[in-house]
Structure 1
Amino acid sequence: MPADLAVLGLGPLGLPLARAAAGAGIATVGYDTDGRHVDGLMAGRPPADGSLTAAGLRRMLSAGFRATTDPAELGRCRTAVICAPTPLGEDAALDLRAVGRAARALAPHLRPRSTVLLESTVYPGTTEEYLRPLLEEGSGLRAGRDFHLAYAPTRLDPGNRAFGCANTPKVIGGLTPACTEAAAAFYGRVTDRVVRARGPREAETVKVLETNYRHVNIALANEMAVLCHDIGVDLWDVIRCAETKPFGFQPFRPGPGAGGHGVPIDPNYLAYRRRSPGYPLRMVELAKEVNDRMPRYVVQRCATLLNEHGKSARGSRVLLLGVTYKPDLGDPTGSPAGEIASRLMELGALLSYHDPHVPQWSVLGRPVPRAGFPYEAAADADLTVLLQPHRFYDLQGLSVKAQLLLDTRGASPAGTAHRL
């Protein structure tokens, strides 16, 4: 059966878009190279990361959504959206290889007058200087003349019940004005408002600004957490008061580290172009440095708390609650829990964890014992560390049961736990 839309990459970026498109009556096919993932979706099994519920998947399938590993299916679609992941590599640069693989799979099947959209997080210039040549070389067509090409930064917030595809404005920037309008025609079917950027570079830089804004402000909150602890000030009360200001302030809260798919982006790392502007975003570098050291700070606080209660980290039973990067999701991408766990292990702590969304968890290649009942486990543990306040947890009850509780999210009732 022909489809109007092909979504390349059925992960946390692609599946929500496919769900929104199918719900809007757009015949949608999803392409992914992971055969087990595709088979699971077609069998009605939602992904473990929580990006799609079982009910949502059933509605997609009933609306005609199909998932496939066959790139030939892409040639039947008038619009293709690349939603490939671009994690940070070992050199702290975005890894664009998945975008390249998606482009090479699509290019031989690209048809004249079709529209190609890129939603993956990328550097300014990627659409024109990296994606465009791959598509043109593989298809024999020319972008802007034979097919439309545009960038549209993803703005998804997994688990957000207030904002989704429909009511979050979509920014688009096309290679030509006609490309922009072709992108607007598609996104106008799945979202209430389309915002036109001057071009793909401007749209790509929107993503850089939005993502770095988050990381820089989280870093400020994290630095304030360390300062306030050192001088004996209740940061959480400070934030509660500051957020009453109706202008010039947006509250951000500290935590054990910044995770998720929205990685900090420094355009100085343009590895795929083998050059850089030569002037890195210092604020972004500093923010990453601050956020990256928060797991170490959490472990330091753990050791100090245990010591204050006459115990050494070595041999102490430590329970970690919530090991995902975001509450009420099963996605561990970028979660600081792994580094915190590994550092506690190095100190000789006897580690266990509980997370209602993560049935199995390994650190340093070793499985971490999972507590069956978190409140009983908290009562037995020398120290319980709340890393993610899933709705599943009764924080009042937890604070009563736990021998010693470190709340890294400020979610427990005031005065019932040690806070970050």
Structure 2
Amino acid sequence: MDLLKKIHSKSAKIGIIGLGYVGLPLALEFAKKEFVVLAFDIDNIKIEKLRKGESYIKHIESEKIKSVLDTQKFIAESDFTRLAETDVIIICVPTPLNVHREPDLTFVINTSKTIQKYIRKGHLIVLESTTYPGTTEEILLPLFERPRPNVKYKVGKDFFLAFSPEREDPNNLEYTTSTIPKVVGGITKKCTEITCALYDKITIETVPVSSAKTAEATKLLENIYRSVNIALVNELKMIFDKMNIDIWEVIEAAKTKPFGFQAFYPGPGLGGHCIPIDPFYLSWKAKEYDFTTKFIELAGEINTLQPYYVVERLTELLNKRNKPIKESKILIVGVAYKKNVDDLRESPALKLIDILQKKDATVKYFDPFIPKLPKTRKYEFVMKSIALTKENLKQFDAVLIVTDHDMIDYNLIAKNSKLIIDTRNIMGRLGIFYNNIFKS
């Protein structure tokens, strides 16, 4: 039976490598649609949790995992030799930046080398990890066309290769894996056709494009667009602060225009797995063509500046109260990169903690979703979330609201804090107005 027939009959066995915020929802969706899924990860703690039906991602309920375990359609696996059993392999591994803000494709390359050992005729391999245009064709294709000594495969004939960018938005209840259109770009037309047939089984719509490069560029455009527009409102925030104009009020008024305007909002800095990182994949690749991506670089510069600007505003307001930043007690409310998730990746809260500690401030945090700060690629803070109580709040010289989780008692904060820097305008949105609240 050829691969297309296996996909249409749902007898194709799906292997998904990387069980984070992208890979796990994808694996669960395929299993829910009655495909047998081998879900691979190098983290044995994740594998053991999944085998017990336990979730390690807040917005993915354990019941969803248990339901597919019960059908025996979902198999969590750390033994990568079982890749040989699959018909389809989907790569969902991290693509961070290194210390020089250059693409770090270590996970993609190592994963591809593992796949190379087990690739066989008829296999479909799809890369979902965000990367620069050309990665699928320039790095993955040569590995898979010559998988082993004296073996040569032809893409589009012996095996199939495509790029389909992930578009996950953690904890977005409206747009999920199955309701977000899937862009697909294969190395050949046949690769695109088969990959579209696969994703058609689990998503509302597939959007075929002319090449893997085009699909790779599509994901970058989506996030560069957001990065540049967020940088614009962040810059306007700093200008309008000096002019005594409320940027939040300006945005609310501007968005009443029914055409030609889309609202973006300022904040304490960018976070998450996409916007702070993805644009620089294109910046790096552009240098190969002697081209400087000025908009991307400028947006990155402005957005990177925001935690420093927040601390600058905090310092000014403390000084007006005859309190130096040194030895002041600061509480950060919310350390996740966005509201209502337990995801710390690239969170501006971590940079704020780092800056404040280097200024000899005493810093603590409260986040209902993150009881303890784990080690990250950049930081290793030994900190646990404190309780949000009237008594605790009164101990701090200032409170920085960094992440506007819904389940936080903002009235409690407003009534019991000496000084509040609200970087998300959550107090204004809730109609909480006290003299101790300042927007930033």
TM-score by length of 1: 0.94
Q: 2:95 maps to which residue?
A: 86
Structure 2: distance between partners of 1:121 and 1:37: 22
Aligned partner of residue 367 in structure 1, secondary structure: coil
Structure 1: distance between partners of 2:364 and 2:234: 26
1:31 aligns with 2:31: no
Give 1:288 deviation, angstroms.
0.5
Structure 2: distance between partners of 1:201 and 1:404: 50
Give 1:374 deviation, angstroms.
4.7
1:296 aligns with 2:304: no
Structure 2: distance between partners of 1:68 and 1:208: 31
1:125 aligns with 2:142: no
Q: 1:50 maps to which residue?
A: 58
| Partner amino acid, structure 2, of 1:197 | V
Give 1:55 deviation, angstroms.
2.5
Q: 1:382 maps to which residue?
A: 397
- 1:10-409 pair list within 5 angstroms: 10-47=19-56, 49-50=57-58, 52-63=60-71, 64-138=73-147, 140=151, 141-262=153-274, 263-266=277-280, 267-270=282-285, 276-361=288-373, 365-409=380-424
Structure 1: distance between partners of 2:15 and 2:87: 8
Q: 2:425 maps to which residue?
A: 410
CA displacement 1:86-126 (0-9 Å, x = unmatched)? 01111212211101111111122122112111100011011
| Partner amino acid, structure 1, of 2:284 | Y
Structure 2: distance between partners of 1:362 and 1:75: 35
Is the contact between residue 155 and residue 188 of structure 2 (CA under 8 Å) also seen in structure 1? no
Structure 2: distance between partners of 1:131 and 1:211: 23
Name which of structure 1's ranges 367-376 and 158-167 shifts more when overlaid on structure 2.
367-376
Is the contact between residue 131 and residue 278 of structure 2 (CA under 8 Å) also seen in structure 1? no
Is the contact between residue 228 and residue 296 of structure 2 (CA under 8 Å) also seen in structure 1? yes
Is the contact between residue 6 and residue 80 of structure 1 (CA under 8 Å) also seen in structure 2? yes
Structure 1 segments (4+ residues) deviating >6 Å: none
Structure 2: distance between partners of 1:401 and 1:233: 27
Is the contact between residue 258 and residue 292 of structure 1 (CA under 8 Å) also seen in structure 2? yes
Report the CA distance shift for 1:51/1:87 in structure 2 as closer, same or farther (over 3 A): farther
Report the CA distance shift for 1:217/1:60 in structure 2 as closer, same or farther (over 3 A): farther
TM-score by length of 2: 0.90
Give 1:395 deviation, angstroms.
1.9
Is the contact between residue 163 and residue 186 of structure 2 (CA under 8 Å) also seen in structure 1? yes
Report the CA distance shift for 1:305/1:369 in structure 2 as closer, same or farther (over 3 A): farther
| Cα root mean square deviation, aligned | 1.8
Structure 2: 5+ residue stretches without partners: 1-10
Is the contact between residue 221 and residue 253 of structure 1 (CA under 8 Å) also seen in structure 2? yes
Give 1:231 deviation, angstroms.
0.7
Give 1:331 deviation, angstroms.
1.1
Give 1:240 deviation, angstroms.
0.8
* Sequence identity (%): 34
Structure 2: distance between partners of 1:225 and 1:375: 31
Is the contact between residue 3 and residue 76 of structure 1 (CA under 8 Å) also seen in structure 2? no
Q: 2:3 maps to which residue?
A: none
Is the contact between residue 264 and residue 288 of structure 1 (CA under 8 Å) also seen in structure 2? no
Structure 1: distance between partners of 2:80 and 2:257: 53
Give 1:369 deviation, angstroms.
4.9
